[in-house]
Structure 1
């Protein structure tokens, strides 16, 4: 009987240790994803420049004031040869490498599976993406071959284009639409 109880105590301790290690691994994995900052990207065509942001708050601030406090600028580096401007956060301003927005834009960092992206064109359209690959295609081609469009559904009455691809072109992008509304504080 004592051996049985001792065995149960040891088994319980092993399970608890395994659970702690499992939780610790999950926390480290979550921290790594947060450190990568590869879950979102925002692009804006504004006054002949192409702006890119990897931080939603910096992107929103830019939309309000039309400028960004910290930036890296590449003359002629944009998709159509325009000036390319990466809007940076305060913590990224002194970095020379390892900036998620620059790395994702240049194809050096893969997007997370839960990627979300927005691209605002000077044509008044707001493109919304669930994959970085779709975003890169629209940036290159200038149009989305597969899409679900809602006229005047954006925060300032813009036409919102939910970009789809061959794998999801026949489905209404309900999850992406909900994410867009949540990100832009819309009901």
Structure 2
């Protein structure tokens, strides 16, 4: 081919390619975004601490049953310890038994490789205390430090008279919405 044909053809192909690359795909709808978040199972996380174990859950029903009975359908020891030297054990649903632990939300939250939902909720139970969280970062601070940096405390307000410790950001006041959420989760 002659150069007078190749140059215009090349320019036309380049322009078409650039136009295709620059068009924006439509943003996902709010319902599609919520469905994607639900598939991640990243909206809640729970732990029960004893002197030698940190049992970690990504399912509220399994966690609630464990709190009542001390049993979960599947208990999987990860063979690793947390910051305080406790063995980390996953409390899982029966259908999670054969799944790769690295794909489970409970383990992915431990590994800090699962982005939390915008409506994140978490609890840690230890002795006669229940730590309550609305942010994953606050929960990770307690996992590392043992206590929240800032908190709002209600003495004896837990389901069985436990001390409730709501993790807060520096300038936050009484966490009214989080208190309501805790009560609805622990009826």
Give the TM-score range, shorter chain.
Answer: 0.7 to 0.9
Could you tell me which runs of 5 or more consecutive residues in structure 1 were left unpaired when the two chains were aligned.
1-20
Describe the superposition over 1:12-31 as per-residue Cα deviations: whole angstroms up to 9, x where unpaired.
xxxxxxxxx99x84433222
- Higher Rg: 2
1:44, 1:120 within 8 Å by CA — same for their partners in 2?
yes
1:181 to 161, 180, 183: 183
1:80-114 CA distance string (max 9 Å, x none)? 22211011112322111320111012101011111
Matched residue SS, 1:75: strand
What displacement does 1:164 show? 0.6
Q: Does structure 2 retain, via aligned residues, the 8 Å contact 1:75–1:82?
A: no
Map of 1:42 onto structure 2 = 46
2:119 aligned residue: 114
- Corresponding residue of 1:84: 88
- CA distance in 1 between counterparts of 2:88 and 2:62 reads 16
- Alignment equivalent of 1:125, drawn from 123, 129, 138: 129
Tell me if the contact between 2:72 and 2:93 (Cα under 8 Å) persists in the aligned partners.
no
**Is 145-154 or 64-73 further displaced after alignment?**
64-73
SS in 2 for 1:32: helix
Across the aligned residues of Structure 1 and Structure 2, the Cα RMSD in angstroms comes to: 1.8
Deviation at 1:167, TM superposition (A): 4.7
Task: Give the drift of 1:71.
Answer: 2.6
Aligned residues: 161
Q: Look up the match of 2:146.
A: 142
Moved over 4 A (4+): none
Aligned counterparts of 1:76 and 1:110: Cα–Cα separation in 2: 22
Distance (whole Å) between structure 2 residues aligned to residue 135 and residue 106 of structure 1: 13
- Within the candidate set 102, 105, 108, 2:110 is matched to 105
Q: What's the TM-score once normalised by structure 2's chain length?
A: 0.80
